[in-house]
Amino acid sequence: MANTFKRKFLVSSGTAANAIVATTSSQTTIIGMSIANITANPILANVTVTSGATNNTFFMMYKAQIPIGSTLVPVGGDQKLVLESDDYVQVETSGAAHVITSFVEIT
């Protein structure tokens, strides 16, 4: 098995949920995620995980407030998020935000 470290960037406009990490035939472990508020107002953020096996969506974070000039870290430190084949993670914000996600693909 090969482990490949990767990262993805997303500029969330706040209009719809955006997929940040989607798995195909590999297992993926998200080891870090940060959501930075880049507006002049507080914003709200949702992070969801959708199971590829059941097509059910679960909130990992719901309407979390991010103050002006702040960053929220929903995954990091001791917390990791394991994704299986065809799972995906989406981020939705009420205003402009930058999202950075670090993960390991196991193939």
What CATH number has the domain bearing residue 38? 2.60.120.1330
Q: What is the pLDDT of residue 21?
A: 81
pLDDT band at 23 (very low <50, low <70, confident <90, very high): confident
Mean pLDDT of the chain, nearest integer? 91
Rounded Cα gap, residues 99 and 36, in angstroms: 6
Which range of residues forms the domain containing residue 20? 3-106
Confidence of residue 68 (pLDDT cuts 50, 70, 90): very high
With H, G, I as helix, E, B as strand and everything else as coil, classify residue 45: strand
Closest CA to 28 of 7, 57, 58: 7
Indicate the number of domains in the chain: 1
Q: What phi-psi label fits residue 75: left (phi over 0), alpha (psi between -120 and 50 degrees) or beta?
A: beta
**pTM for the full model?**
0.89
Residue of 87, 91, 81, 107 whose CA lies nearest to 23: 87
Q: Calculate mean pLDDT across residues 16-41.
A: 87
